[in-house]
Structure formats: C-alpha cells, structure tokens
Structure 1
Amino acid sequence: MAEGQPVINSVFDQDYLHDPHLVYSRLRAEEPVTLTTTPQGVQVWLVTRYDDVRAALTDPRVSKDFPGNPGMMKANEVAGGDSSGAAAVVPDNMLFSDPPKHERLRRIVVKTFTAGRIRALRPRIEQISSGLLDALGDEFDLLKDYAVPLPAMVIGELLGIPERDWPRMIHLSGITIEGSAQDPQQVVAAVEETLAYLRELCAAKRAEPAGDLISAMVQMHDEAGRMNATELVDTAWLLLVAGHETTVHLISNGMLALLRHPGQLARLRDDPGLIPDMVEEVLRYDGPISTSTLRFTTEPVTIGDADIPAGQLILVSLLAANRDHAQYERPDQFDVTRKPAQHLAFGHGIHYCLGAPLARVEAEIAFRHLLRRYPALELAVPESRLAWRPGMLMHGLTSLPVRLTR
C-alpha cells in the first residue's frame, strides 16, 4: 500500500456474498476503481467498469508475473505468508506469466489443445451428459449431480486422468478455487497434492503415452524442449483447475437464471436454436468468474480516474464489467435473444481463456439435454435457501436442488 493511503474495509463482505451485482452496481456508479481489501486483509485496487477492465487487462504495466517483483510479498500474504507457499499456489504456467514466457507456453498448449481435439470430443460429451441424466430421478441437486461431474469428467478424459482419480481431483480443485475463503495453508496443501499427482501422471504418460492432452504435452516437452519439467506439470495443473470449475457454474448459474425467468425458459423450449445465444447471455448476465486472478502494477498507471502507484495489487471484476450500463442496454435484464458482443466472461487480451470453445460446447450440450429430458423443472427449495460460494474468484452456487413438475 502506498504511504498515506487510507485503510478501508473490504467490499467482499456479507452484502457481497448475498448479491455481488448490487455491490458492483454501487461501485461502478460511485467508485469504479476503489481501494479495498481481500478477506485476508491484503489491499487491492478493484476495477469494475467495462472500459476500465478492458484497459487493465491489456496494459503491459499491469503484470501477472509475481516472482522477482515488488508484488511478490503481497502475493505471499494472499497465499499464506511464505515464499514456498506462494510458489505452490502461484505455479509456473502461462496464467501467471508475462510475455515472452507467456507466449511461449501458450503456443505449446494451443498446439495440443486444438479445435479438432474439441470437435472429436463432442460425441463423448454427449454420451457423458446423457449418462448423468439417465441416473437422475424426479428430484436432484442439479449442481452436484450434473453441473459438477459433467465438465470434471470431460476435462479428466481430455487430459488423460484415470476415472478412478476424478473425485479426488474435483475435491482438490474446489479447495484451490475457493482460496480466498479458505485457510491459506489448506489451499497450499491442496495445490501441492495436485502437483505431486500430476508429476506422477506425466511420468506414467511418458512410459505409456495415449491420445490425451497430457501425453501430447509430455511428447512436446521431451522432443522440442520448449517447456521445462516444472512448466509441464504446472500447465497441466492450470488446465485441470480452470478446465472445469468455470463450466460448472456456467451451467448452474444459467439454469438458475432460466428458473427465475420462466418466460425466457419457455422461449428457449419453443426454439432450442437459441441455446448458443442463451449461453452467451448467461456468461454476460451471471458469469462464473467474479474477479480475475491478481495482477500488480510494475510502474505507476492511471485506470479510470485513479492514479495507482507501482507495486500495487489489481483485481478486475469481469462480473461487474458485464453489467455496465455504459456498455449494454438493460444490462440487469436476462434476455436469451440478446447477442452480447464482446462480453468479458472469458477475460480479454493475452490471457483470454484458452478453454472458451470447450466451455461453450459443454454448456450448449448440457442445456440442450436438460431441456429435452426435463420439460418442466422448478426449484425444490425456496430461493432464499440458495447459497453462493464464498471467495472472490468464483461466482457460483453451493447447490441447486430442483424437481420435475408434472
């Protein structure tokens, strides 16, 4: 924190947990770039307006590469207060890198995580979705019984993780994603356990390669040498964690939005061809990411009306940006026919989500199957009993009980 800067309370309080959109609406109007604190008390600058978020996501003075920079000390505080813990929680991958390292690592992943590989996976996604729905009755938890296992099984199969290990990886990933609401040491332990598992898996794929993504990455590592052993494992970690958690909440947030707007749900049932547009509208209206991962300023930078010194931590809110009245007409209205061009749910700039095409395919299949199998669903509990996950990163429910209406 800059000397003389006032200490303020965190916006990530109970009001935020109850309704982040209301908190973000106030901030966009009154203090669009505000100095606040994380739940651990670390000071950050929170950016909430669409244009400011886009600017911050592309400004080269706003960095993701913490090691060796002034922001590393503050990253350690977020991670638990020691450099070894931060090294585990902030792995050596493209998400936490700047150019040229970021470009090198992303090019390698792009060569393995191809559009053709995603297209080839589509029949398997259909099969997984149908199988999950076959096992459900007239009343179930849509999040835990469908939205969680579908993308987890898909990313597990894509990466080449044995099916017996999927539940363990889902559990560890959940702890990591909820880092800002968890005991920091528990997060560190979960990340280290996941990395240890992936190191063993990479060794197994080297001995017996298959047609999965990790086998392809191991081969590129061994033959081309453009990715060291740590980068290989940490990139596999990134694909695992980021590859399913966001899609979980895209599906469940979308279904909740439809249940809250029966007229829009009826419109979608009458015209299933609107499902791709509906997925984009869910991403804009109630997307799965509240704030992106931490960045910090390598030199003084002005964002909006705020002059931010060097060495300050930055959080940009994708959720807030996507409800900005300056960018969208009626942004608080859910409209499955809207074509929300350039929403920021998948980020912007060089760190734009590599898995966006896969998430879209999974969500489209998930909603198409749900609407066909369950022509009439309703909440099985009063809406007041629904709870949102704690933490700054993910915007998603803890459960979504539903039942079939006759």
Structure 2
Amino acid sequence: MTTTEMPDTLHRILDYSSRSDPYPLYAELRRTPVARQEDGSYVISTYRELADILHNPHLSSDVRNLSHPMPSREGETTPAFINLDPPEHDRLRRMAMRHFGPPHTPGLVTGMEPALSAAVDGLIDDFAGKERIDIVDDLAYPFPVTVICRLLGVPREDEPRFSLWVNDIINSIDYDARTDPKEKLDKGVQARADLREYLGGLLAVRHGHPGDDLLSRLANDDGPDGRMTDEEIISTANLLLIAGHETTVNLITNGMLTLLRYPQVLQRLREDPDLAVPLVEELLRYEPPVHIIPWRAAYSEITVGDTVIPQGSQIMLMLASGSRDPDRFHDPDRFDPDRTDNQHLGFGSGIHLCFGGPLARREAQIALTELARRLDHPSLVADPPPYRRSPVLRGPIHLQVEQNGG
C-alpha cells in the first residue's frame, strides 16, 4: 500500500457539486486506502483500514493532540465526550448512559415507542389534502427535534432559536481556512457560545429539582462516578441536542429518497412492516447520515496497512466510502435490504460508536414504515433533490414528493 497524495479527488468530494453523488469519487479514493494530503493530513477510505484505525488506541479524538490547531474547534471550552479520549471519555459517556439507555435505563427507547408513533401519525395526518409535501420540513425535521427536546427537557417552542445556532455549528465543522470565508468560522464560534449559554440557563433551574428529563437527571443524580460538572452537562446536552436530530433527519430523508428510487422495496415495506429493521441497517450502509469524520489525531505514531502516520497528524475518516468498499461488501452499490452480512460504518465503530444509535434506528423504522403505509402513490418532484452544504452530514435540504398521483 503506497501513500500517495490525492488532493484533487478529495477536493471534488468536498465540493458542493458532488454532493448528490459522491460515491464514484469514493471509488477513486479507495485506490489509495491511506492517502497523504498536501497539508500533511491523511485520508482513510477503505473498510479494513477504517475498521482497524477506529479500534486503534493510538487514535485520538482530542484536538489538543493535533500538531496544528483545528480552527473549527475554536470557542470549544469544555469538549463533549465524543471529542475526548479515555479515561475521561469513558467516564463521561458512562455517566450519560446511566440515564439514556441500557443497562441502567433499559426501557428508555422501547418506552418511548407509543409517543414516537403518535408523533409520526400526527405529522402525516397533516399531509391530508396536500398533493405535494416536503419530507424534510413536514416530517424528517420536526419529528426527531420533538423527540430530542422531550428527552433533554428543552422547550420545543425554542426550536427557532437553537436551530439557527445548530445550522451555523454544522456549517463550520468542515471549515477550511484556504477556501472558506472567515465569517463561516466566526458564526460557528459564536453559535457554540450562544448555545452553551442557552443550555446553561436551562440547567441552572434544574439543580435541586429532580425531573424525568435528561438535564434534570444529570443535574441531580450521583452515580458511581459522581456527578458531572455544569460545564460537562452543558457539553453533553449540546452534543445530544445536535447529534440527536441532525443525523436522524438525514437518515429518514435519505431513506425516503432511496425508497422512492426503489419502488419495489417501498411496496414491500408497505406490505411487511417487519422489513423496516433490515432496511434501516442497509440504509445506514448505502446512504448513511454521516459520511465523514473530518478529523482525528494520531496520539502517537500509527501504522495503518503499510503506511506510517506520524504523531500529531490529522486523519480524515471516510466512513461512507468504507461502507461501499467492494472488498468488504458484495455488490456494494446495490441497495439490498435482504443483505445479511452488514457490519456497516453508518454509526462509526469502536469506543465512539454512536451514543444515540438505538433511538435513531427506531425513529427511522417508525417514520419510514408509516410513510410507506400512508402516502398515496408518492413520486419524487426532483431527482436529485437539493442537498445541504455539508459533506460531513450529507442529506437533502428538501425532498419534495407528490402524492395522489399528482
């Protein structure tokens, strides 16, 4: 395996003109599984090498281990646990998991299923009489936002405020000082500060007032690891608020787009709701909500395949490319919900495996099943639809669908 610079392919992947279909470019990238870039960073694009490094203890998620500063992380005072390494990562993730899922809260997701179904039904009820709907605006966005607000204890009516901050934060994730205006970074830094201040205000009134929402539980519960500091709670809530809906919006929207491109599978789902479980797993491989982890750091020198990555190097992980790797998946460019060997990278892998994966899966299963069952002869208005700017969190910004044979 020879390390080769492939800047043109990567630049084309990151360019918005490739957003609707980056997969042929991923195939180009995979010709060099570990590619050194002009700036000294490394891009990893093949399944075996990605799986290897995601489980490598010398891979760091802490920006402080980079040789060069990461501008997109400016203004991040207390990193969320996703941006920390063990043992701090393990302690904070363990403290959050006590209130979010198994083993301490095993019934959280299943206990929410009636509310999830009711939320989806209510949104689809509003489709009545409409010949044209926007899957994003009318369901894929409001549904997971409602869910994560309820879980965290964030007032749903505050969505117009925090959605602007979230958009600016997401837009700044892939900031490149060589090509992007400084305003993009500045807006992201300010949005992080505004969101922290907002969540801090919600947290302040939770102390001494236990409740069922996650903010209340984190503010008042002393588990085996003690209690998080306020800054740690705010960082955790920040992570969950953003990741808890942004990725699910993409998963549902990409899923509906794929089903409309594969009408025979849409019909199968309509007739057999149990298909939703393997179907969502295949969507996480075929059209995942997260395409790229834009940076990790080499905590010390790392060897990936035959390539030695120096300590402090920035590493970009092309997860969506790995999940389409023909050396790992048979006929990877075919959407196949009957695929049995499907250890995709849709939620990452290793110690940072997506914290909210079980909830996101169930939200997508319910939403797509009900859309398949209740939409009347749906068809795409435009294919490809318009996409969001981000190459990291990739999905349509709108998905216009006609029904009733319109």
**TM-score with structure 2 length normalisation?**
0.89
- Give the Å deviation of 1:164: 1.3
Unaligned runs of 5+ in 1: 80-84
Deviations 1:310-343 (A, max 9, x none): 1110111111111011111111001122234321
Partner of 1:176: 169
CA 1:224–1:322: 2 relative to 1, 3 Å: closer
Deviations 1:279-332 (A, max 9, x none): 111111010001125211122212233221111101111111110111111110
Match of 1:98 among 78, 85, 99: 85
**Whole-Å Cα distance in 1 between the matches of residues 138 and 36 of structure 2?**
39
Deviations 1:142-188 (A, max 9, x none): 01211011111100011011121123223322221232267011111
Deviations 1:38-70 (A, max 9, x none): xxxx65311111111111111111101223x34
**Whole-Å Cα distance in 2 between the matches of residues 358 and 6 of structure 1?**
39
Deviations 1:250-293 (A, max 9, x none): 00001111111122222222322211111111111010001125
Partner of 2:393: 394
CA 1:148–1:44: 2 relative to 1, 3 Å: farther
Match of 2:114 among 118, 123, 135: 123
Q: What secondary structure sits across from 1:244 in the alignment? A: helix
Partner of 1:373: 374
**Whole-Å Cα distance in 1 between the matches of residues 6 and 263 of structure 2?**
44
Partner of 2:96: 109
Deviates more, 1:203-212 or 1:350-359: 203-212
- Give the Å deviation of 1:95: 0.2
**Whole-Å Cα distance in 2 between the matches of residues 202 and 398 of structure 1?**
31
- Give the Å deviation of 1:124: 1.2
Q: What secondary structure sits across from 1:288 in the alignment? A: coil
Partner of 2:402: 403
Report if the CA contact (8 A) 2:66-2:314 is conserved: no
**Whole-Å Cα distance in 2 between the matches of residues 140 and 18 of structure 1?**
20
Partner of 1:148: 141
Deviates more, 1:220-229 or 1:191-200: 220-229
Equivalent residues in 2 for 1:1-400 (5 A)?
8-9=7-8, 10-11=10-11, 12-14=14-16, 16-28=18-30, 30-36=31-37, 44-67=41-64, 69-71=65-67, 73-75=68-70, 77-79=71-73, 85-88=74-77, 91-114=78-101, 115-136=106-127, 137-179=130-172, 180=174, 183-206=184-207, 208-220=209-221, 225-380=226-381, 382-384=382-384, 386-400=385-399
**Whole-Å Cα distance in 1 between the matches of residues 37 and 249 of structure 2?**
28
**Whole-Å Cα distance in 2 between the matches of residues 221 and 202 of structure 1?**
16
CA 1:354–1:120: 2 relative to 1, 3 Å: same
**Whole-Å Cα distance in 1 between the matches of residues 398 and 40 of structure 2?**
31
**Whole-Å Cα distance in 1 between the matches of residues 120 and 164 of structure 2?**
20
CA 1:308–1:86: 2 relative to 1, 3 Å: farther
RMSD over aligned Cα, in angstroms? 2.1
**Whole-Å Cα distance in 2 between the matches of residues 252 and 43 of structure 1?**
35
Q: State the AA in 1 paired with 2:152.
A: L
Report if the CA contact (8 A) 2:294-2:392 is conserved: yes
**Whole-Å Cα distance in 1 between the matches of residues 123 and 357 of structure 2?**
23
Q: What secondary structure sits across from 1:205 in the alignment? A: coil
Report if the CA contact (8 A) 1:159-1:214 is conserved: yes
CA 1:223–1:205: 2 relative to 1, 3 Å: farther
**Whole-Å Cα distance in 2 between the matches of residues 404 and 211 of structure 1?**
40
Deviations 1:5-50 (A, max 9, x none): 979454322453242111111111x21222347xxxx653111111
Report if the CA contact (8 A) 1:280-1:340 is conserved: no
**Whole-Å Cα distance in 2 between the matches of residues 111 and 155 of structure 1?**
17
Q: State the AA in 2 paired with 1:98.
A: D
Deviations 1:186-216 (A, max 9, x none): 1111111111101011112225432111111
Report if the CA contact (8 A) 2:152-2:213 is conserved: yes
Q: What secondary structure sits across from 1:344 in the alignment? A: coil
Unaligned runs of 5+ in 2: none
Q: State the AA in 2 paired with 1:187.
A: G
Deviations 1:335-379 (A, max 9, x none): 122234321111111100110110011011101211121142111
Report if the CA contact (8 A) 2:43-2:316 is conserved: yes
- Give the Å deviation of 1:92: 2.0
- Give the Å deviation of 1:224: 6.4
Partner of 1:82: none
**TM-score with structure 1 length normalisation?**
0.89
CA 1:222–1:110: 2 relative to 1, 3 Å: closer
Report if the CA contact (8 A) 1:152-1:170 is conserved: no
Q: What secondary structure sits across from 1:326 in the alignment? A: coil
Q: Which runs of 4+ in 1 moved over 3 A?
A: 5-10, 221-226
- Give the Å deviation of 1:394: 0.5
**Whole-Å Cα distance in 2 between the matches of residues 44 and 215 of structure 1?**
41
More helix by share: 1
**Whole-Å Cα distance in 2 between the matches of residues 340 and 283 of structure 1?**
13
CA 1:343–1:64: 2 relative to 1, 3 Å: same
